[in-house]
Amino acid sequence: MKRSIILIGFLLFCTGCATFSVNYDFDPEADFTRLKTYAWSPVSEKSPMNELTMKRIKIAVDKQLKAKGLTVTASENPDMLIALNAAREKRVDVQEWGYGHDDRDYSSDRWYPGRLPVTPGGRDYFEYRRGVDTYEYEVGTLVLDFVDAKKKELVWRGTASGVIDPGKTAEQIDGIIAKLLDNFPPPKRQ
């Protein structure tokens, strides 16, 4: 049991350092130069995200978009609506391990559990040990949809997914959102 706790702690430490996978897609016909204001769409009550994490994500998005010249508005006519969606998936990683070694015990010919004689009637033994370790973790996916409010069409979608660390700090969330919005607005085609 103690070994499992240590392994889970190590896994969480490693995944806390792991990066999120980030992707984006956009409508190549959309005119991103006319999108200057935005408003947040209501978040579904069934969202698996807690309110504090959602608030941190919105603050990080607002900060990134403000740096790009966009303004959050409370008016009825924003240029763009942003929908925030999230999902969680529980996963289990099962790892089987095993090793063997030659155990030459010339002082006795007793048999021990796990030891197999190499030669019939001989004193050379090959010992094999094996086991199975399981690790439970959650993978989260964050989706940001940017919708043209006038046309009611999706113009940009960004997704970030990775192993969830329950103690994500605001700085870590800022880093993920910065990476996610790095390609918004998308690069202009030549």
Q: pLDDT of 137-189, one tens digit each?
A: 888 888 999 999 999 999 999 999 988 776 667 788 888 999 999 988 887 76
- Do 38 and 59 sit in the same domain of this protein? yes
Provide the domain limits for residue 14.
2-92+134-183
Q: pLDDT per residue over 17-67, tens digit each?
A: 456 899 999 999 988 988 999 999 887 766 666 788 888 889 999 999 999
Number of domains in the chain: 2
- Do 145 and 101 sit in the same domain of this protein? no
Q: Is 189 inside any structural domain?
A: no
Q: According to the model, what pLDDT value does residue 43 have?
A: 75
98-107 own/partner pairs: CB under 8 Å, 24+ apart: 98/128, 98/129, 98/130, 98/131, 99/128, 99/129, 99/130, 100/126, 100/127, 100/128, 100/129, 101/126, 101/127, 102/126, 102/127, 103/127
Pick from 97, 86, 101, 94: nearest CA to 145: 86
Q: According to the model, what pLDDT value does residue 189 have?
A: 63
Kindly report the pTM of this predicted structure.
0.67
- Measured CA distances, 184 to 16, 48, 67, 155 (Å): 26, 26, 11, 11
Angle between helices 170-180 and 51-67 (to 10 degrees): 50
- Do 19 and 69 sit in the same domain of this protein? yes
